Amino acid sequence: MLHPITAEIAREITGYIPFSEEEACEQFQADITYDPSKFDAEDEDTHPVNGSVYRNKQGVYRCYWKPQCTEEELEGWYDVPTNEEIEEWSFDSVCFTPGDDEVEPDHPDSWLSILALI
């Protein structure tokens, strides 16, 4: 949850209303940009790209990440973070990558960048 002072500043400056406790625990509803049923191993145009999002049969939003700034083999599908995490990272100077590395929010591998929120 946002620090009370941060929440007050955001409310005063932008009119922002923080998520309720129930909403905060829900997964962020990223725009769906990929259909895995159309994947064809021989057709590059059907492969996911960094930031591709789909929703699986269980209703979980998954995002494809191909690290831009690391040599580690972390490429793959990751569960999209919660509303609370997105909210906190939006107002903080720290964000995380799908590989749980701490980075600045505008870093190319941050969740906020991957989901095109900044």
pLDDT digits over 50-109, tens only?
Answer: 999 999 999 999 999 999 887 778 999 999 999 999 988 988 889 999 999 999 999 999
pLDDT digits over 5-24, tens only?
Answer: 877 877 788 887 878 889 99
Cα 78 to Cα 60: distance, rounded to the nearest angstrom: 10
If you average pLDDT over residues 32-40, what whole number do you get?
93
CB atoms within 10 A of CB 47: 12
User: Which pLDDT score, from 0 to 100, does residue 2 have?
Assistant: 63
**7-13, long-range: CB within 8 Å, 24+ apart, which pairs?**
10/91
If you average pLDDT over residues 23-33, what whole number do you get?
94
Cα 31 to Cα 54: distance, rounded to the nearest angstrom: 8
Q: Is 6 left (phi over 0), alpha (psi -120 to 50) or beta?
A: alpha
Q: Domain locations in the chain?
A: 27-114
pTM for the predicted model, two decimal places:
0.83
User: Which pLDDT score, from 0 to 100, does residue 72 have?
Assistant: 74
